[in-house]
Structure 1
Amino acid sequence: MLPATQETGRVPCGRSGHARTTPQLRQSTRRLAAPKPSPHPRPPRVRLAAPRRAAAAMGSSLPAKEANLFKVIVKSYETKQYKKGLKAADSILKKFPEHGETLSMKGLTLNCMDRKSEAYELVRRGLKNDLKSHVCWHVYGLLYRSDREYREAIKCYRNALRIDPDNIEILRDLSLLQAQMRDLSGFVETRQQLLTLKPNHRMNWIGFAVSHHLSSNSSKAIEVLEAYEGTLEDDYPPENERYEHGEMLLYKISLLEECGMLDRALQEMHKMESKIVDKLSFREQMACILLKLGRFEEAEKIYRSLLFMNPDNYKYLIAVQKCLGLYSENGQYSADDVERLSALYNSLKKEYSWSSAVKRIPLDFLEGEKFLEAADNYVRPLLTKGVPSLFSDLSPLYEHPGKANILEQLFLKLEDSIRTSGCFPGSSQIEPPSTLMWTLLLVSQHYDRRSQYDIALDKIDEAILHTPTVIDLYSIKGNILQHAGNFSAAAALADEARSMDLADRYLNSECVMQMLQADQVGLAEKTAVLFTKDGDQHNNLHDMQCMWYELASGESYFRQGDLGRALKNFLAVEKHYTDMTEDQFDFHSYCLRKMTLRAYVSMLKFQDRLHAHEYFHKAAAGAIRCYMKLHDSPLKSSAEENDELSKLPAAQRKKLRQKQKKAEARAKREAEEKQEDETTSTNSSKSGKKQQARPVDLDPHGEKLVQ
């Protein structure tokens, strides 16, 4: 390839997308990054590329043999060969027992072997012996980071950067932690410093752009991306990087759209179409921009082409309505608009006769006789086919005034016609016998929705008598009984439905939920264990973040007055949300490397509103109720219990104490047996490989939580 010329300022680019440094590039970097390195950059995450860099500097403080051993420690840490690393560290410490960086690295290795107290002791000792080593401070930060002590990790990173302000690895770790903690101003500063130090690396350009975007400075992010594009050759990207480059271009277009630069975004799309691989996202984004620009005919043409690919996509159908000026946010339409919408969907039905969406959407805006006719045409084939989810599809219509009465009229008419003639009204075609059963099921669900439980039960009983082998009938009857308040009967029916298909996980889960509603916690646990690994339902359900189970268990225990176990379950849900927040950490570097920028920003926005989720609110409310009840009715202290015992007759007191001792001994024995079983099952899997043992829960019943 030819070198860059001063006229074009183009820079030949390697296969990895890294821009080569030229005077023009350095100048644009200075202009964009405005190199004003903060004297105290704010810190992030934890890797250990830094000690490898430090290992080269070790030769000045260690003899050659020991310096090579230090490199072995670092390499062993990175390859997870911890025993080998410890052996190398011990060899150095025999000759240099107070060598700070070796002590720190040994502590970091022990931390990975779950020997935390020793790890902290060694790292602090190493730091005390070498306070001016950025490696010691970095390792100390890594230790805090592994325990999610972000504030302390930040302090350690700051101290490390005071000693070595241009350390790329520490700065990179810092930027990740700043993104995690949403320290956006610090994130911009750190990314700016990384770009200044290493402008020939693609991730530094992209990271700097994303940092500005997250800081609500989309225009600056666009400038950074355009400066990066200016460093690339005209024939970039190579074949193996086309998708990543296309994602970056789509991200840039989304930034232009976000800034309101719609004409420029459209121009960019036309210019870069050949370089964008994700054609579906490209067409969706172009149609969206055209719609915002008011170029409705062009937008409609693209959306209709997308409908040809997927005629059941509600988003495309609603977009076509918007292009035609036939969309209302509140669902209220004039008579003229209803006529035009009907004509639109009638034409779409002819074009996409197999699409359920084009038949279902008109039910939302049609009224009166037209609604009755459309609902009749929609329901009949689904009853013949036997679709159990039909009522779930129709249930939003019950929120529309008057439509519930029309549906009731329709359902009863269909039931009467099939019962008397075996055909639908106005049809001479004989329906299969199952059609009556599915119609009775639909009618029973209708009356259940309208809280007429006696009629609903009569209809579902008739359906069961007609075809007693359909599992859905028993599940629906159980739901009706639950709504009517008969929880124990609902649980029994759910268990009967489950027993008809023991391989169905959904039926098992539905049964467990009904049992928990009936406060049959022990039976629910035994049922849940049927679909968990190794027969350990609690740990597996917790590991799978099965929050519906924990919430239902917590509510059941609360109703029974067992506040300890109730709190245990509610706080387990809160722990899941903490884990979800922590789980985003690895994506801060992964998404920049893989260039999945739009998904990354969307994920960060989702994380910012994570605690608005319904399950978190339920768990928080449940825990608050438990604490309020504990405040209003505190548990008796041991002294008060002893006073009450002393008032009892001696024989009764002795008998009660013996009973308590037996219960304690039995609980201790069961815990030991369970621990032994878990140890043997986790130490060796089916393949014979050793696995990590699960940590022991020291408070399985939440007794310490209520003290």
Structure 2
Amino acid sequence: MGASLPPKEANLFKLIVKSYETKQYKKGLKAADAILKKFPDHGETLSMKGLTLNCMDRKSEAYELVRLGLKNDLKSHVCWHVYGLLYRSDREYREAIKCYRNALRIDPDNIEILRDLSLLQAQMRDLAGFVETRQRLLTLKPNHRMNWIGFAVSHHLNSNGSKAVDILEAYEGTLEDDYPPDNERCEHGEMLLYKISLLEECGFLERALEEMHKKEYQIVDKLAFKEQEVSLLVKLGHQEEGEKLYRMLLSMNPDNYRYYEGLQKCVGLLPESGQYSSAELDRLEALYKSLGQQYRWSSAVKRIPLDFLNGEKFREAADNYIRPLLKKGVPSLFSDLSPLYDQAGKADILEKLILELEQSIRTTGGYPGRAEKEPPSTLMWTLFYLAQHYDRRGQYDIALAKIDEAIEHTPTVIDLYSVKARILKHAGDLAAAAALADEARCMDLADRYVNSECVKRMLQADQVALAEKTAVLFTKDGDQHNNLHDMQCMWYELASGESYFRQSELGRALKKFLAVEKHYADITEDQFDFHSYCLRKMTLRAYVDMLKFQDRLHSHAYFRKAASGAIRCYVKLYDSPSKSAAEEDDEMSKMLPSQKKKLRQKQRKAEARAKKEAEVKNEESNVSGVSKSGKRHVKPVDPDPLGEKLVQVEDPLLEATKYLKLLQKHSLDSPDTHLLSFEVYMRKQKILLALQALKQLVRLDAENPDSHRCLIKFFHKVDSMPAPVTDTEKLIWGVLEAERPSFSQLREKSLIEANTFFLEKHKDSLMHRAAAAEMLYVLVPDKKAEAIKIIEDSSNNLVSTNEALGPVGEWKLKDCIQVHKLLGIVFNDHDAASRWKVRCGECFPYSTYFEGSHSSAIPNSAYNQIRKNPENGGHNHPDSDQISEAIPSNGKLEAFKDLVI
């Protein structure tokens, strides 16, 4: 580097490189300017100056200088390497790899460039190139441990585990007899465990076990050693030895569920079908009885039998498990037992059991069959459990009665108010749930979890401004510059995005959904530093697991929700594009003068409010932007805080397709993926792609109402298409004709017959009836009255219970809301929608959507009688601005302070 310069300038060039490495950028810049004063066209100096400026956030100057330096010295590996580093800093990894390869053509043995290239190849999963680069590094520097390990890991990632084992054994052959020294024992032990896991992965089980016993004294992590050993023993069929080892592990940690599962497998009590015979159940019961005597303080050994016991034995075990937890006052008891509600009959047994306990405590002050008196709090926790139990079963009146009694018993327990808020949310009164959750929050202003629960309820009630004001009480905004986005608070952003979507504020909704997508891009980027760190620290098993996790990162539920939300926003934008300025002016010209005046006043108020918020945020950032060292941290200003630019896309469906492809790649087993694909491709007139999405939907769940809708819509569209003219159209038509018989629902049936058959098959389900009615209206618009009658003839009586689907024939609140929107929007029949609203208001008396008699939407309800007070002007619905003003002044919602009485 800098070889073409005189000795003085060459030393200055070395100073630039050293200053860059030690982050003394001003010093490096001064040295670069000194060289360029005499040699203004020196390419390597120009490049290094550009790289230094890049670190000082002067990117445009940096790129300009680096490109000029490369132009002046195309045959310098330094210029190409620096160009690659510049691209790497901007996450342009493919371009960076091209630059590194050009640098290696000039200097093929440069260790630094090869190492940088290998990191990028691992990041981009160019596994063949990764193997090649790692081999080159090992050839150039075979005495470096990291090069051996990197070469082995590259072969493992490239699906060549046996080759990786050979490399590790070759590396061990280069070591001296007294290796490792004390300061490297942990790293060497990790390498041996990685090698053993590789042997297990390749199927060399005997060899792996032999290697473990041979090198046991060199492995420091004894717990990992035992877990690996027992895994090998079980796979080799050495069940007796495996049983002994699992019992040893249980003595170390008797609350590890995996150890119990492994022990069951060793004694032959873990059938693949999951179904136990009566003899197996007896043996299993005896096993856990003996383990329970051995580990008396273990919670797991008492909880696991509840999953497989039935009848009277289940009742007895549940009784023994529940009593001490109610006495102790464990709030999470219901969450612990809630999976049992999915098993037939167990919910009824639990209900009967808890009611007996409640009755006994009320009458005798103690549990049944015991003379000892229980503390008063036991009754409160019993009522607490029963409230959640009845909430789970949809019996909201009883649930609210139980939780109100618990609050009256002990008004100071925060969990009671949080659970009551959850019950009200399930019952449909979102505003009351948010108010009650805020009351719980105000009881302990230092509890982040209760604060988060409150924020969640507020967002569900579409009180976004208030939710944000409440959430930021727990965010730091000092030297660390943390806020909800920087903290990657994805649950908040998703809930906020959904709220904005419900309010048709698509710009803000997109802003939130795309923020979550940005977090996943950052998580993908975060793995970059670990490619060298993990090889250096020898955390190889964790490193490989991390890479596998990164490969399936976009299948995570939060990403799926964010991508789905963004796609729904773009579809809605396509269906209802935002009005242009000319259209708005045209509408304004048709308004009356009084209407124009009101509209302008409203716009001015909105602009003033937005300006005030921006000024406040700017002032806060200026105050918090000075660190202890005196340096000013300038926060990047968001150029589009309301997402207005996001909704001004020319082709919304093109934007939707970007996220759709990610869902199709990583979430193929989610029906929502294919439902969204169908909707997008039908709008884009991509018939074959829509057919592909339809086939996937039918494959996943042919009886789903959405699958039926898509099936009928698709072939109704196909039937209305004009006769094919071009060769392409004829080819598409031929594919559609060939695929139609593959749908069993349409075999030898017309679309109307298929719809009628579907209705008869699922006549007890509200949502299936609604789907059939909607499709009848699509197929025969003249039968609108008949279609509406199909929905109105649905009854809310429990017909049967399906273990997988739950009660059949029983209405759910969210389904009824969907049907109401169907009647009002799709059928455009406001009378039918009104009748449905009245009917559902009786079924769901706490629902604000249907204005039920017990909901906060009714002015004369008991809730609003309590809620009215002079501080909120006597309004039934104080808006979020009124409420939010109360928070800074007194720390709680004065408008709702008496709600819990």
Whether these two folds match at TM > 0.5 is yes
Instruction: State the 1:525 CA deviation.
Output: 1.1
**Mapped pair 1:380 → 2:305:** no
Q: 2:646 maps to what in 1?
A: 705
Instruction: State the 1:316 CA deviation.
Output: 0.6
Q: 2:69 maps to what in 1?
A: 126
- 666-675 or 690-699, which moves further after superposition? 666-675
The question of whether the paired residues in 1 share the 8 Å contact of 2:383 and 2:403 is answered with yes
Deviation digits for residues 196-229 of structure 1 (CA, Å, limit 9, x no counterpart):
1111110110000000101110000000000000
The question of whether the paired residues in 2 share the 8 Å contact of 1:243 and 1:276 is answered with yes
What amino acid does structure 2 have at the position aligned with 1:77? Y
Deviation digits for residues 613-672 of structure 1 (CA, Å, limit 9, x no counterpart):
110111111111100000000000112112223334678657755764675466346434
What amino acid does structure 2 have at the position aligned with 1:694? K
| Separation of aligned partners in 2, 1:516 and 1:537 | 27
Q: 1:395 aligns with which of 314, 338, 345?
A: 338
Q: 1:211 maps to what in 2?
A: 154
| Separation of aligned partners in 1, 2:204 and 2:20 | 49
Instruction: State the 1:695 CA deviation.
Output: 1.2
Q: 2:223 maps to what in 1?
A: 280
Q: 1:257 maps to what in 2?
A: 200
The question of whether the paired residues in 2 share the 8 Å contact of 1:529 and 1:535 is answered with no
The question of whether the paired residues in 1 share the 8 Å contact of 2:476 and 2:482 is answered with no
The question of whether the paired residues in 1 share the 8 Å contact of 2:478 and 2:624 is answered with no
Q: 1:457 aligns with which of 393, 396, 400?
A: 400
Secondary structure of the residue aligned to 1:543 is coil
What amino acid does structure 1 have at the position aligned with 2:571? M
Q: 2:748 maps to what in 1?
A: none
Aligned 1:473-512 pairs, distance under 5 A = 473-512=416-455
The question of whether the paired residues in 2 share the 8 Å contact of 1:525 and 1:537 is answered with no
**Mapped pair 1:366 → 2:309:** yes
**Mapped pair 1:470 → 2:413:** yes
The question of whether the paired residues in 2 share the 8 Å contact of 1:210 and 1:221 is answered with yes
The question of whether the paired residues in 2 share the 8 Å contact of 1:529 and 1:537 is answered with no
Q: 1:568 aligns with which of 511, 516, 527?
A: 511
**Mapped pair 1:516 → 2:449:** no
Q: 1:9 maps to what in 2?
A: none
Deviation digits for residues 149-169 of structure 1 (CA, Å, limit 9, x no counterpart):
111111111111111111111
Larger RCO: 1 or 2 (CA < 8 Å, sep 6+): 1
Instruction: State the 1:346 CA deviation.
Output: 0.7
| Separation of aligned partners in 1, 2:512 and 2:535 | 37
TM-score after normalising by structure 1: 0.89
Secondary structure of the residue aligned to 1:333 is coil
Q: 1:242 aligns with which of 185, 196, 201?
A: 185
Secondary structure of the residue aligned to 2:646 is helix
Q: 2:635 aligns with which of 694, 697, 704?
A: 694
Instruction: State the 1:529 CA deviation.
Output: 1.7
Deviation digits for residues 254-279 of structure 1 (CA, Å, limit 9, x no counterpart):
00111111111011011100000000
Instruction: State the 1:689 CA deviation.
Output: 3.9
Tell me, which stretches of 5 or more residues in structure 1 are unaligned?
1-53
**Mapped pair 1:165 → 2:105:** no
What amino acid does structure 1 have at the position aligned with 2:147? N
What amino acid does structure 2 have at the position aligned with 1:450? R
| Separation of aligned partners in 2, 1:81 and 1:640 | 57
Instruction: State the 1:330 CA deviation.
Output: 4.4
| Separation of aligned partners in 1, 2:288 and 2:47 | 70
Aligned 1:55-74 pairs, distance under 5 A = 58-59=2-3, 61-74=4-17
Aligned 1:119-158 pairs, distance under 5 A = 119-158=62-101
- Judged with a 3 Å threshold, the aligned counterparts in structure 2 of structure 1 residues 650 and 392 are, in CA distance, closer, same or farther, namely closer
- 660-669 or 219-228, which moves further after superposition? 660-669
What amino acid does structure 2 have at the position aligned with 1:150? Y
Q: 2:168 maps to what in 1?
A: 225
What amino acid does structure 2 have at the position aligned with 1:700? P
- Judged with a 3 Å threshold, the aligned counterparts in structure 2 of structure 1 residues 185 and 232 are, in CA distance, closer, same or farther, namely same
| Separation of aligned partners in 1, 2:71 and 2:10 | 21
| Separation of aligned partners in 2, 1:227 and 1:237 | 16
Instruction: State the 1:418 CA deviation.
Output: 1.0
Deviation digits for residues 112-145 of structure 1 (CA, Å, limit 9, x no counterpart):
1111111111100110000000110111111111
Deviation digits for residues 288-314 of structure 1 (CA, Å, limit 9, x no counterpart):
101111111111111111111100000
Tell me, which stretches of 5 or more residues in structure 2 are unaligned?
649-901
Q: 1:77 maps to what in 2?
A: 20
What amino acid does structure 1 have at the position aligned with 2:298? S
| Separation of aligned partners in 2, 1:112 and 1:224 | 39
- Judged with a 3 Å threshold, the aligned counterparts in structure 2 of structure 1 residues 341 and 663 are, in CA distance, closer, same or farther, namely closer
Deviation digits for residues 35-84 of structure 1 (CA, Å, limit 9, x no counterpart):
xxxxxxxxxxxxxxxxxxx2xxx23x111111111111111111111111
| Separation of aligned partners in 2, 1:177 and 1:210 | 15
The question of whether the paired residues in 1 share the 8 Å contact of 2:230 and 2:242 is answered with yes
Q: 1:416 aligns with which of 351, 359, 367?
A: 359
Q: 1:112 maps to what in 2?
A: 55
- Judged with a 3 Å threshold, the aligned counterparts in structure 2 of structure 1 residues 417 and 652 are, in CA distance, closer, same or farther, namely closer
Instruction: State the 1:677 CA deviation.
Output: 3.3
Q: 2:494 aligns with which of 551, 575, 587?
A: 551
Secondary structure of the residue aligned to 1:706 is coil
CA-based RMSD of the aligned residues comes to 1.7
Secondary structure of the residue aligned to 1:268 is helix
Q: 1:447 maps to what in 2?
A: 390
Q: 2:477 maps to what in 1?
A: 534
| Separation of aligned partners in 2, 1:250 and 1:122 | 49
The question of whether the paired residues in 2 share the 8 Å contact of 1:513 and 1:552 is answered with yes
Q: Identity over the aligned pairs, expressed in percent?
A: 79
Deviation digits for residues 489-528 of structure 1 (CA, Å, limit 9, x no counterpart):
1111101111111111100000000000000111111111
Number of residue equivalences: 648
Secondary structure of the residue aligned to 2:483 is helix
Aligned 1:639-678 pairs, distance under 5 A = 639-648=582-591, 660=603, 663-664=606-607, 667-668=610-611, 670-678=613-621
| Separation of aligned partners in 1, 2:630 and 2:551 | 40
TM-score after normalising by structure 2: 0.70
- Judged with a 3 Å threshold, the aligned counterparts in structure 2 of structure 1 residues 109 and 297 are, in CA distance, closer, same or farther, namely same
Secondary structure of the residue aligned to 1:704 is coil
Q: 1:335 maps to what in 2?
A: 278
- Judged with a 3 Å threshold, the aligned counterparts in structure 2 of structure 1 residues 313 and 689 are, in CA distance, closer, same or farther, namely farther
What amino acid does structure 2 have at the position aligned with 1:343? A
The question of whether the paired residues in 1 share the 8 Å contact of 2:494 and 2:513 is answered with yes
What amino acid does structure 1 have at the position aligned with 2:339? P
Instruction: State the 1:693 CA deviation.
Output: 2.3
Deviation digits for residues 373-417 of structure 1 (CA, Å, limit 9, x no counterpart):
000010001111111000000001011111111111111111111
| Separation of aligned partners in 1, 2:123 and 2:478 | 37
What amino acid does structure 2 have at the position aligned with 1:328? P
| Separation of aligned partners in 1, 2:413 and 2:615 | 45
Secondary structure of the residue aligned to 1:499 is helix
**Mapped pair 1:618 → 2:561:** yes
Q: 2:260 aligns with which of 317, 322, 327?
A: 317
| Separation of aligned partners in 1, 2:479 and 2:54 | 28
Instruction: State the 1:331 CA deviation.
Output: 3.1
What amino acid does structure 1 have at the position aligned with 2:311? G
- Judged with a 3 Å threshold, the aligned counterparts in structure 2 of structure 1 residues 323 and 689 are, in CA distance, closer, same or farther, namely farther
| Separation of aligned partners in 2, 1:241 and 1:143 | 36
Instruction: State the 1:530 CA deviation.
Output: 1.1
**Mapped pair 1:86 → 2:55:** no
